[in-house]
């Protein structure tokens, strides 16, 4: 599964996901850093990749329809440390199959998950 990490996500998440066997493109690590949300979305759609972000703009279903992606995982803003953020994503990916969230918008909260 290909994952694209928006530059708003904790930097350490890329390494953790790579160590678990995911193909990861981290916007913050590449020459594409600072690109517009629409360009990030095009990358995600082109590969039907998983987008992991803390940018609420990607929850706008009109601008960024999740059904064209593998999934959009939005980490809800809050008082999360980098390790807590990484743990939220790891737990979600390990507890849910791709069929459960393929083409959906997933919102990860500190104590819950919303899939729509």
Q: Of the candidates 60, 12, 17, which has an alpha carbon nearest to the alpha carbon of residue 37?
A: 60
Q: How far is CA 67 from CA 19, 45, 84, 105, in A?
A: 27, 9, 27, 8
Alpha-carbon distances, residue 32 vs 11, 15, 51, 66 (angstroms): 15, 18, 15, 22
- Mean pLDDT, rounded, for 8-21: 93
- At 33 the pLDDT is 62
pLDDT tens by residue, 72-108:
999 997 788 899 999 999 999 999 888 889 999 999 9
The answer to whether residue 15 scores a pLDDT higher than 70 is yes
Domains within the chain, CATH numbers bracketed: 2-115 (3.40.50)
Q: Which residue has the tokens 């918008």?
A: 105
- Confidence (pLDDT) at 97: 84
What is the rounded distance in angstroms from the CA atom of residue 116 to the CA atom of residue 78? Answer: 20
Structure tokens at 98: 């791709």
Cβ–Cβ < 8 Å for 106, 114: yes
Whether the model clears a pTM of 0.75, i.e. scores above it, the answer is yes
């Amino acid at each position: 599964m290909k994952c694209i990490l928006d530059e708003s996500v904790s930097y350490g998440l890329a390494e953790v996901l790579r160590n678990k066997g995911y193909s990861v493109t981290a916007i913050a690590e590449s020459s594409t850093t600072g690109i517009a949300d629409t360009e990030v979305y095009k990358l995600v759609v082109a590969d039907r990749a998983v987008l992991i972000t803390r940018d609420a703009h990607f929850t706008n279903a009109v601008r960024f329809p999740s059904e064209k992606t593998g999934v959009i995982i939005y980490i809800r803003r809050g008082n999360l440390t980098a390790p807590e953020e990484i743990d939220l994503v790891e737990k979600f990916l390990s507890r849910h199959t791709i069929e459960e969230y393929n083409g959906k918008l997933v919102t990860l909260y500190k104590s819950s998950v919303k899939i729509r």
